[in-house]
Structure 1
Amino acid sequence: MSKNSKKENIVGPLDGVKVLNIGTSIVGPWAASILSHLGADAIKVERPTGEFIRRLHPMQNGISTCYTISNNDQLSSELDLKKPDQFKVAEKLGHSTDILIENFRTGVSDRIGLGYQALSKKNPGLVYTSSSSWGDVGPMRDQAALDPHVQAFSGFGGLNGKLNGTPEMLRFVHMDPAGAVVVANLSLLGLLGRERFGQACHLHTSHFAMGIAMQTNRAGEALLAGMPIELLGSASSASAPNQCFQMLDSEYIAIACDTQSQWEGLCRVLGNSDLTKDPRFLSNVDRVQNRQVLAEIVGEAIKQKPKRWWVVQLEREGVPHGFSMDFEQIQHHQQVVENGFISTLHSKHAGDMFTGSIPWDFSETMGVINPWLVEPGSDTQHIIDTGFGNQQTDFKQNQDEEFIAPLAGLKVIDATQGYTGPYVGLMLAEAGAEVIKIEPKGGDWARDLAPRTPTGSSALFESFNRNKDSKTIDWTSKDGQAQLKDLVKDADVFLEDWGPGVAEGYGFGYGTISKENPKLVYLALSAYGEKGPFRDRPTSELVIQGMTGYLRLLGNLGEPPVRVGADIVATCSGAIALTGILSALYYREKTGLGQRVATSLLGAMMFLRSHEWAAMTNPDEWLGDSYCTNETDAPHDGYQTKDRPVYMSPSPLLKREDFISMIRDLGVHDDLIQTPEYADNWWDTFGMGYLARETKPIWEKYTTQLTAQEVLGIVEKYEVWAVEFADLGALMDHPQVAAINLVHDVDGKRYVRAPWRTPWELPPLRQAPDLKD
């Protein structure tokens, strides 16, 4: 069935694709929702008692907001797979779907009879996407995890914290929705491989691999530049000044100078052009090496004037700046409102609920979020009676045993610089495309970031631009425009991040170049969206983190802000841009038509925080351990031990009697169980439970008497999921990283590869291009 949009006869780019979601929690289910927003028909299958995130707070009208957003825009069924007749319904769905998504522990889908080998016998065109916690191979393959476990052990938490402080986790389930985008992308790559080469297959990724890939450039600092991972508060490891400063009115302003011109502009704003001649601050690398003294100089100047003064001056000079915003400020901000970055969903059972809006604007198709939320299980009988409502997709299987990368033979012109656009190009290259990077005469400005590698370029540039060819073209000149047009005329994908209207001024607007190349998929990547008062403003990682509420998820309220140490805006908005490109490529396979795909950093991150916006709508109670209380909670730094912190949470299978045995083993029993509320709601007294923050001092009274390994040795005897906090640099040599083959070596240099294991091989590793060549 076609899912028509409000525009008559316009469908989503994935129109006709069938998706079966048998997953749990957020990663698998929300991936299916994303594909459904793009036009696919998605069905959710879960047990009659409901999956465990139905019990996670906050609730709205007694329904978990996390569960609701994770499964929206899907038909909902409750099937008892232990009953033969209901198992046959699920099996029939598996025999007729195009994509199946599951995120159980490795082997679980096989045990319940819905594994790839069983279903693909009758459905050879099945694209089967599995996302386990730690990987389908290796010493940790059988362990389970939730978002905080991955934050802790992937090194992500080890990048966040006050200067010289202790590591912190985000007080928000960021890894789950970010991982769901990767699962959606991997499913789309499988779909494209099926359509282009007749090769359907089983695809693997993991929470762990996705978490590390989200930190690709930060891992590169250790792998390529040999730099230790430090906690920097709100400062950046790549450029300076790039942090938050307190103003005369006591508020903090985020100021980011990624380029030399932005630094010079800031010096004019400060009325101190002599800083540009100071030997300590001549280049960005110099400024990063002298970050602390520079921050003191800039901070002292910023303290002299209030917010309005600095906004006016910084905007005049084109220096990226912004503020740490809460939900009330975000939802009413003119840039958010004019671009429609927040939508309202409706239901009879849960009431109205906010969500992030579709982050893509397609020229030929349309993404749509169904505004009506489905009540859990309400479609069960319909699904039993009709399934997907149509026959199995025709599929001509390629008998060649050697798999071809899904984007092999496609030509991509990458005219982006900095962070996000180059990351998109990298992921296209990892999927087999030929990517040609176009740099201006002076080179991509990201070459000048810190830290530098022995080649003279930054670790970030080398991490995001490997496996690409390169050309230097001045696209602002007529000769350069002619060269670029010659390259684009037979390209499959064109990437630009020049800003709204700029490409049109150079004669590169989609309407112009698509006349000569109607099959072109054109990505227009902007900072804030193509409407609103900020449409032409420059931005930065820190500024977007502040504008989407991330700076309120670390540190303490009322103290200097703490940034997310991983460059999540770059990698996560890049992953979301990739979703739009892959969907457009699939549509092209079906119709022969290309299209323009517009997305923005702000819109992508607003979409990624959909679960937060839902939780803040109208909760029944103001409860943690995430969402509602995340702005006012103390830092989430795990449970302290004698050496390294650990994070632990109960499995859905943990029984009360085992919990009692565990807390006796730890010594916590008498202090914890004497409080009736803790005794009655024991499952919520640790991990992500709503009582976890309140009871943390009780747990730590005893965990601090043990080492991390001693604590893990006790709790892992029970149905408790637990890990220690890991250092990102040291993690690169961990046996689990080696088992999933995530880090590769070329000429003595090591790089993080794409976070998937597939039948097709990753392309041979090539270093980033040298500007001299």
Structure 2
Amino acid sequence: MKEAKGPLNGVKVLSIGTSIVGPWAATLLGYLGAEVFKVEPPQGEFLRVLYPHQNKLSTAYSSTNLNQKSAGLNTKEEEGMNAMLNLAKEADILIENFRPGVADRIGLGYETLHKSNPNLVFASSSGYGDDGPMKNLAALEPHLQAFSGMSGITGYRGGDGQLIRFTHLDPTGAIFFCGLIMLGLIERERFGHACWVKTSHLANALANMNNKVSEVLLANTQGEPLSSGSSTSAPNHCYLCEDNKYLAVSCDNQDQWSNFCNAVGLNELTEDPRFIKNTDRINNRDELDGIIKEHFIQKPSRWWSLILTKAKVPNSFDLCFDDLQFHQQILENNFLVEVDGEHTGPFYVGGLPWEFSETPPKIDTSIPVPGGDTEKAINEGFENKTTEISQEQSDSPEYPLKNIKVVDTTQGYSGPYLSFMLAEAGAEVVKVEPIGGDWSKELSPQTDKGVSALYQSFNRNKTITQIDLHTDKGQLEFESLIEDADILMEEWTNNSPESKIYDYDALKAKNPALIHFSLSAFGHRGPMKNKPGSDLTIQAMSSYLRTMGDVGEEPIRVGADVVSTCTAAMSFIAILSALYHRIQTGQGQKVNSSMLGTMMAIKTLQWSGFSDPDSWEGNFCKNETDGSNFGQRTKDRSIFATPSPALTEEKFYEMIKEFGMYEEFIKDEDLVKNWWNSFGVGTKASHARPLWDKYLTKMTSEEVLEIFYRYEVWAVEFSNIEELKNHPQVEFLNMFEKHEDGTYLRAPWKTPWGFPKINPVKF
């Protein structure tokens, strides 16, 4: 067994970020072998006090700061600042996620540090972007869910949009941020240009929803909550069965639809003109779901799952943490890992979402003690003292993946979105589709080009060819493509003919530098390794459905296809890490990633909070039972508000007098004692929500926001994607680019190298 040094062995990372986005991006780099120093003020950052606690320390803090050395430095004093500057001088990467201008203000800005370390990749992730009218606003998780439009497409059918009660955009923002950091490192190693790379929480939220945004931009549709349904395919829903359990079922393509009808005994539906094609089924979704609901209630969920699995139709039970702890698929893929520390005790985190054949990553199961490496930071710095890079320094930016050839055989959502991001960084992508094309062309909604918005968006800037890999001619054509490829992407099951013909060892013999990337739904080992998956079924299995809607009611899914986009972003990190290792050694390798592994890793905050908390307090304990969260309702739309540090108790009571709720509020002793926690993400917010709704619904959102802003409360309105198209803050992100073929969403980063010119899919 190879020593677990990771593909980033030798890379030095200085993390001065706070909360989750910066620290967890650093943790992922640490998993991949980088040497990471986390530096925070001696008193610690805010996240340490967030509930739930285990042994009086926040589980969110402990679980998102693994594989790091921890130091507490007072940069207002000479010793602390000197130590920080010395670390920055030695580092390859600096990570910060402050508001724009804060790093400069504390003496740790890009210009200052770049002078002493011209090889430093300086990485920033702000809240709403580094410019624009909202650049200085706080961007807590619910603010971004509300403002980005994600909440607007999540909720009960025909009802208001609602918040995901799990902190989704923070860890996924870290994933997209980490991928951008890797691009900066790759550009430096290949072209000698070390620079400042930027992203934002808002940009990453939009990237989470790329195909939903594309439905608005390219197909002129407006998103809406669909309960557990999907805007792209049908049937795609959670159905109640005879045993009073819901089963998540998806038919993403025509083969799955035919197999579904045959397996469940509804063959007549394949001839019904209402349901012939996917677009027909979407247009007649209610009738179709009604038929299936009546059918599924007649037998237990176990029966339906058995026959659908045999028919290769994606399905999954709605699982909880207790189910997952002992689930064979989770155990065989190590998707839950127990970490431990004397100061915390043991708890679970999501396991590694990738496998590398030559450079295995590793989760250090020893939890860092906050500030435990302060003396080392002051007196020693990084262990690795080498400062060499592969190329001479240059002032000229280049696309990081310029002249990198990618052969992509994947279809649908995750794989094409991954190769889309590679193309956005300058890679030459050849997409190999089967005869007849990628099945995602038939998804809904359709554009005026006669294909789905998803296909048109995800497959631009690629050379697309159709090859029959089951013929001798097709195999010869394919082999000529991959003989000089840098990266091969596939999603073949290990019992497929393709996986046997194009085994990695055989490919390596002909192309030793090849990075062979394999994507699966449920992981590359275990009883479900060859089972097809979907966004809905992975959301169900990873407990996502439990953090929306109400206990005992029909499940709700995240309206955006977050499993697919986040899997692509997590896989992006893996491919770039393998490429970095190849630059250093010339060695290629096999890299595996999965949809379930990605979502299990993202839910680290949940698993750590559930493990053994001191009390059942805080979002990561209560989010499965708190009920639907619509923010604060007003007369015309919902908003989300949370107190800023400037809100004093005196100002709070002045504010609620303006809302007219003071007299009723002070009658509740529990709320009076916990006034700070009575709204936003506070521990008493759900208890106080009916009271806020009673009074705020008498006012318009504009009136409510005006009062909140005067009292320095952080608040935003719930937006929809259509409204964001022309919002001034989104314009500053430069993510929407108009082309004669339509408006496209670009990748979520701002860099000196920019983007390649849009090259639409040829029809």
Match of 1:296 in 2: 290
| Alignment equivalent of 1:79, drawn from 73, 76, 82 | 73
Shift in CA distance, 397/593, structure 1 to aligned 2, threshold 3 Å: closer
Q: Do the aligned residues in 1 keep the contact of 2:144 with 2:202 (CA within 8 Å)?
A: yes
Q: Do the aligned residues in 1 keep the contact of 2:33 with 2:361 (CA within 8 Å)?
A: yes
Match of 2:685 in 1: 692
Letter in 2 for 1:650: P
Match of 1:672 in 2: 665
Deviations 1:276-328 (A, max 9, x none): 11111111111111111111111111111112221222122111111111111
Where does 1:167-206 land on structure 2 (aligned, <5 Å)?
Answer: 167-206=161-200
Deviation at 1:269, TM superposition (A): 2.2
Letter in 2 for 1:708: S
Cα distance in 2 for partners of 1:436, 1:67 equals 42
Letter in 1 for 2:751: T
Deviation at 1:652, TM superposition (A): 4.2
Match of 2:468 in 1: 474
Match of 1:367 in 2: 361
| Alignment equivalent of 1:233, drawn from 207, 223, 227 | 227
Match of 2:405 in 1: 411
Where does 1:137-536 land on structure 2 (aligned, <5 Å)?
Answer: 137-391=131-385, 393-395=387-389, 401-502=395-496, 505-536=499-530
Give the match's secondary structure for 1:483: helix
Cα distance in 2 for partners of 1:76, 1:274 equals 63
Comparing 684-693 and 646-655, the one that deviates more: 646-655
Give the match's secondary structure for 1:662: helix
Deviation at 1:41, TM superposition (A): 0.6
Cα distance in 1 for partners of 2:388, 2:142 equals 42
Letter in 2 for 1:195: E
Cα distance in 2 for partners of 1:663, 1:47 equals 34
Shift in CA distance, 395/577, structure 1 to aligned 2, threshold 3 Å: closer
TM-score (norm: length of structure 1): 0.97
Comparing 329-338 and 546-555, the one that deviates more: 329-338
Letter in 1 for 2:598: A
Q: Structure 1 residue 721 and structure 2 residue 721: aligned?
A: no
Letter in 1 for 2:424: E
Cα distance in 1 for partners of 2:249, 2:393 equals 56
Q: Structure 1 residue 594 and structure 2 residue 588: aligned?
A: yes
Deviation at 1:209, TM superposition (A): 0.4
Match of 1:32 in 2: 26
Q: Structure 1 residue 768 and structure 2 residue 757: aligned?
A: no
Letter in 2 for 1:523: F
Shift in CA distance, 601/80, structure 1 to aligned 2, threshold 3 Å: same
Give the match's secondary structure for 1:45: strand
Shift in CA distance, 528/766, structure 1 to aligned 2, threshold 3 Å: same
Letter in 2 for 1:736: Q
Comparing 42-51 and 705-714, the one that deviates more: 705-714
Cα distance in 2 for partners of 1:432, 1:277 equals 46
Shift in CA distance, 118/633, structure 1 to aligned 2, threshold 3 Å: same
Deviation at 1:507, TM superposition (A): 1.4
Cα distance in 2 for partners of 1:404, 1:216 equals 25
Match of 1:3 in 2: none
Q: Structure 1 residue 119 and structure 2 residue 96: aligned?
A: no
Cα distance in 2 for partners of 1:591, 1:665 equals 66
Give the match's secondary structure for 2:400: coil
Letter in 2 for 1:141: K
Q: Do the aligned residues in 2 keep the contact of 1:527 with 1:535 (CA within 8 Å)?
A: yes
Q: Do the aligned residues in 1 keep the contact of 2:8 with 2:580 (CA within 8 Å)?
A: yes
Deviations 1:227-257 (A, max 9, x none): 1212111111111111011111221111111
Q: Do the aligned residues in 1 keep the contact of 2:339 with 2:366 (CA within 8 Å)?
A: yes
Give the match's secondary structure for 1:436: strand
Give me the CA root mean square deviation.
1.5
Comparing 362-371 and 389-398, the one that deviates more: 389-398
Match of 1:565 in 2: 559
Shift in CA distance, 164/63, structure 1 to aligned 2, threshold 3 Å: same
Deviation at 1:738, TM superposition (A): 1.1
Gaps of 5+ in 2: none
Cα distance in 1 for partners of 2:497, 2:581 equals 24
Deviation at 1:545, TM superposition (A): 0.4
Cα distance in 2 for partners of 1:403, 1:560 equals 51
Shift in CA distance, 641/483, structure 1 to aligned 2, threshold 3 Å: same
Q: Do the aligned residues in 2 keep the contact of 1:481 with 1:506 (CA within 8 Å)?
A: no
Shift in CA distance, 756/292, structure 1 to aligned 2, threshold 3 Å: same
| Alignment equivalent of 1:710, drawn from 697, 700, 703 | 703
Letter in 1 for 2:105: R
TM-score (norm: length of structure 2): 0.98
Q: Do the aligned residues in 1 keep the contact of 2:3 with 2:360 (CA within 8 Å)?
A: no
Match of 2:723 in 1: 730
Cα distance in 2 for partners of 1:32, 1:712 equals 35
Cα distance in 1 for partners of 2:654, 2:187 equals 51
Q: Do the aligned residues in 2 keep the contact of 1:97 with 1:392 (CA within 8 Å)?
A: no
Match of 1:701 in 2: 694
Cα distance in 1 for partners of 2:629, 2:46 equals 22
Q: Do the aligned residues in 2 keep the contact of 1:125 with 1:397 (CA within 8 Å)?
A: no
Give the match's secondary structure for 1:612: helix
Gaps of 5+ in 1: 1-6
Give the match's secondary structure for 2:322: helix
Deviation at 1:501, TM superposition (A): 4.3
Cα distance in 2 for partners of 1:191, 1:511 equals 29
